[in-house]
Every structure is written in structure tokens, then in C-alpha cells.
Amino acid sequence: MPGVVSLDTLKIHHSLPIHPYDPAINYFEDNPFHLVALEAARMVKVRFILNVVQDIHKQIMGAVAGDLKQAHLDGVEICRRENQVDVHGLADLIIASPGETPRDIDLWQSQKALSVAELTCRPDGCTFFLVAEAKNVIPQLFIDRMAQATSPEEVIECFRKEGFGIGSNKAFMYARCLLKGRIILVSEGLTKRGANVFL
């Protein structure tokens, strides 16, 4: 979709309800986010794709090409086979990290680790330890969105009303996680001001 549609269309695509409320990790079948992207690609007559699948070290472990639906499914199968991990039970304490640079360069990128961790949180809540260097400055729009809110619910409601924005998108995802539990940040690079915005 990024290569064939306008920025306005991408903003709608990345907003609720097309963007799933809950983390979409391992959400392959009937995912509205993917189905809408597929529909948009077909509307502009995309007939061929070439995708690569990477391992956790960013090494290419497979490539798929051809029909956009089938080639994508083939890529998903490679990814599942090589990267999927079975989790047995839910936890009340979760240590999450996006991995080394550049995945943990700031809290913007590091949030992705929490989306995975949210899926293993007990229904009655848990504590997340987010381990990330986060040496780069957090985008100011994100800081503003989090600092202006009085609660995670307010951040989520703002995202629900306004949709995707540079500040609101990640703020929504952090707020969603904060409703499930406490986040403790373990970082050598983040300033105290940045951490106090929402943790």
C-alpha cells in the first residue's frame, strides 16, 4: 500500500477501526488491516510483488514473488516456520526488548516490543520491563500527546476520534499497554524528562 496510495489513504488505513485495536502479531487470517491493503492494491491493479523475509538478525532467509495474495501467504509461511514461538501460559512479569540498534534507538521504535509482550500479559494485569537504549530524542509530537493526557483512556479516545498522526499513533499503542499493566523502562540513553512523560 505505501507505494501505490496517497498519504491521506495511509492515515485512514492506520486508524481505527481498520487498524486493529489489539496487537496484530500473529493475526494472519481475516485481518482487516491486511484485507483493506489487499483491496487497495487490487484497485490500482497491482499484479506482481517481490518480498523478502528476514530473520531476527536482518538476514534474508527467503524471498517470494508473484501474485500479491499468494506470494504474501508464502512469505507468511516462511516467517511462521522460522520465527514463530509457542507461548505456554500468561505472565504477570514480562521482560521485553526490541533487540539491539537500530530497533531500540528510541521509544518510538522500542514500542514494537511491547506489542508482542501485551499478548502474554495476564488478564488481571502485569508488569512490563521494557529494555531499550533509547538514545535518540523522542519525537516532540509524541511527547506532547502523552504529556497533555490525564490518563491512558484519554490518549486512546483521542486516537479513536482523530485517527493516525505522527504523535497519536505510538501514544495510542503505549496507552493501550498501560491499561494492561505498569511499564518499567530500563534504559541508559533516555533522559529523565522523556521517561517521565508516560512511565
List, for residues 141-185, the tens digit of each pLDDT value: 888 888 889 999 999 999 999 999 877 899 999 999 999 999 999
List, for residues 28-78, the tens digit of each pLDDT value: 788 999 999 999 999 999 999 999 999 878 899 999 999 999 999 999 999
In 3D space, the residue among 127, 131, 134 whose CA is nearest the CA of residue 113 turns out to be 131
List, for residues 94-152, the tens digit of each pLDDT value: 999 998 888 888 888 899 999 999 999 999 999 999 999 888 867 778 888 888 899 99
Is the Cβ–Cβ distance between 146 and 198 less than 8 Å? yes
Contacts of 92 (CB under 8 A, 6+ apart): 122, 125, 126, 127
Q: Which domains does the chain have, with CATH numbers?
A: 7-83 (no CATH), 93-196 (3.90.226.30)
pLDDT at residue 29 in the model? 81
Residue 193 pLDDT exceeds 60: no
pLDDT at residue 158 in the model? 93
70 or 1, higher pLDDT: 70
- The C-alpha atoms of residue 196 and residue 18 are separated, in whole angstroms, by 31
Residue 190 pLDDT exceeds 80: no
- The C-alpha atoms of residue 27 and residue 25 are separated, in whole angstroms, by 5
